[in-house]
Amino acid sequence: MTSASTTPPASTPEIICVGETMALVTPTGAPLADAHTATITLAGAESNVAAGLVAAGHRAAWASRLGADPLGTRISSELARRGIELWIDEDDDAPTGVMFKDPRPEGSSTHYYRRGSAASRMMPGLLPPERIAGARIVHTTGITPALSPDCTAMVDRLFADARAAGALMSFDVNDRRALWSMSDAAATLARLADAADIAFVGRDEAERIWGTATASEIRAFLPTCGLLVVKDGDVGATAFAGSDEPVFVAAPTVDVVEPVGAGDAFAAGFLSATLEDLPLADRLQAGHASAARVLRIAEDMPPLD
């Protein structure tokens, strides 16, 4: 049995982000197998983007499904504390997903417990068209359709409803190898990225999924995407808008503490500048600046003041 835990306000936020957020458990002072204590925070690409946009002064909502459990309560409380508007369905029969980080000297690994999670049961009715009306951007990532066939159908409906409402559809490829087969990922992610008004993809990620080696090859592979942003790590990012000449902006030099979350921060910065109608070069610069702030800390989101 499910129940809606939040009601959208009378007016619509500028941007609506849709996807799963999990509880993130990080052991303190030892690898996961040996640790006796741990911290619990959050992990979710779309909610990271929403948090970044709110921090930049925009009004953002996050739509998802959480278990009717303490971890779901913890997630919703933390996101609300950050000023994000929450449009959540609570699920009495499925749990909130959990992610464990395993820090080791040779590098951290992650372990996911999200199969059968409440978010994997998101369906096309999660976000009715009337909730989208008035929004300027709807954002999701390639993680969401990978969660289940119902989630794929929900994302397809999002694309259609966003277009019908006159909102821009933003899509970050954000491939997760553990969630689905290479063939399913390659086909679905290409279809969605090419249909998006704004799409983000890492150059190395695209090479792994589609075999495209350069930003120009990725553009040729996704010719109908309205605005394609290809990120190339510490080199920089290139934006392709229609048939215009591509715009490249180099990445700043950053002393990296933890790379996780930087891609979400880049998307938040770029989308913030998009909402402000800034030129493409300024949008890329805003993306780099936002990513740099997250690269310098261990968490996915900057701490609240």
Residue type, 221: F
**What value does the CA radius of gyration of the chain take, rounded to a whole number of Å?**
18
Of 264, 282, 300, 305, which is the active-site residue? 264
204 CB contacts (<8 Å, ≥6 apart)? 232, 233
Taking the C-alpha atoms of residue 17 and residue 139, their distance in angstroms, rounded to an integer, is 5
Q: What is the token pair recorded at 280?
A: 């493409």
Taking the C-alpha atoms of residue 198 and residue 74, their distance in angstroms, rounded to an integer, is 31
Is residue 264 among the annotated active site residues?
Answer: yes
Query: Dihedral sign, CA of 151, 156, 159, 160?
Result: negative
Q: Are 14 and 137 in contact (CB under 8 A)?
A: yes
b/e code 174-185 from CB counts within 10 Å (16+ = b): bbeeebbeeeeb
C-alpha to C-alpha distances, 15 to 181, 189, 238, 275, 304, nearest whole angstrom: 31, 22, 23, 9, 21
Task: Using CA atoms of 101, 178, 45, 254 in order, give the dihedral in degrees to the nearest 10.
Answer: 60
Distance of CA 166 to the CA centre of its chain: 21
What are the φ/ψ torsions at residue 283 (nearest 5 degrees)? -65, -45
Taking the C-alpha atoms of residue 268 and residue 227, their distance in angstroms, rounded to an integer, is 15
Q: What is the token pair recorded at 150?
A: 């119902």
b/e code 57-88 from CB counts within 10 Å (16+ = b): ebbbbbbbbbbbbebbebbbebbeebebbbbb
Q: What is the token pair recorded at 177?
A: 């190898």
**What residues act catalytically?**
264
